[in-house]
Structure 1
């Protein structure tokens, strides 16, 4: 450890961090190129060639030219994912007004009060679960 001073360790860590951030930005730009529905084939191909052949300049030009719309596409994607998740949860859990779990709870309450017999409960339960 004597031949590698602490300052060199700091610079190594800094360069490693910067390279990781660079690759993150590069992959973010490439995915944004493919996610953009307003760009068509040649536009996507042009940006992709620019970003891959001249990476530093290409990425910086892309961020300057299309940075704002890049953020808007990210926000739109997040909203669509949240809406899909909400829809899935509502579909799975039932919307609260007639789900099978609610009907089974009401049916069990009727059986516990004695309003229906065990046989009627089993038939209704089989019908709800079918």
Structure 2
């Protein structure tokens, strides 16, 4: 195999991978779109199966702008969910750490044994 044959093979391999990527993105977008009815989704999928290149080009031309908006919305929602999970994990305290804190306060004399028992009960109630 010569160097030029390798470059030609590599070029066609790149084209095939790019086409598969485009088809997958279009199919995902067809299913992600809440505005399309079930029949419209089925027709787009049939169009993509039987005339893949033409179907993908027409879909991107006709619905490309909305396709980008849906992608940005989905990534924004995913980022917000991750941020909310991180915030909730960072701010949540466990009953064990609350009881440890109350025990340290009791040992230092900052709270009375009755207040310690109340703090301990409150921490245990929070986990149930």
TM-score interval, normalised by the smaller of the two chains? 0.7 to 0.9
What is aligned with 2:36? 39
1:74 to 58, 71, 81: 71
CA shift, 1:109, in A, is: 5.7
Give 1:100's aligned residue: 93
* Alpha-carbon shift at residue 5 of structure 1 (Å): 0.4
Distance 2:87 2:117 in 1: 27
Report how far residue 120 of structure 1 moved. 6.3
In structure 1, the gaps of 5 or more residues are none
Distance in 1 of aligned mates of 2:2 and 2:112: 83
Deviation of residue 11 (structure 1)?
Answer: 0.9
Structure 1 length-normalised TM: 0.78
Task: Quote the RMSD (CA, aligned, Å).
Answer: 2.7
Aligned pair count reads 123
Q: Deviations over 1:79-123 (max 9, x none)?
A: 1111211222222222xxxx436x738536634643136896577
Higher fraction of helix: 2
Q: Counterparts of 2:67 and 2:11 in 1: how far apart (Å)?
A: 27
So what's the TM-score if we normalise by structure 2?
0.79
Quick check: 1:22 aligned with 2:19?
Answer: yes
Aligned to 2:111: 116
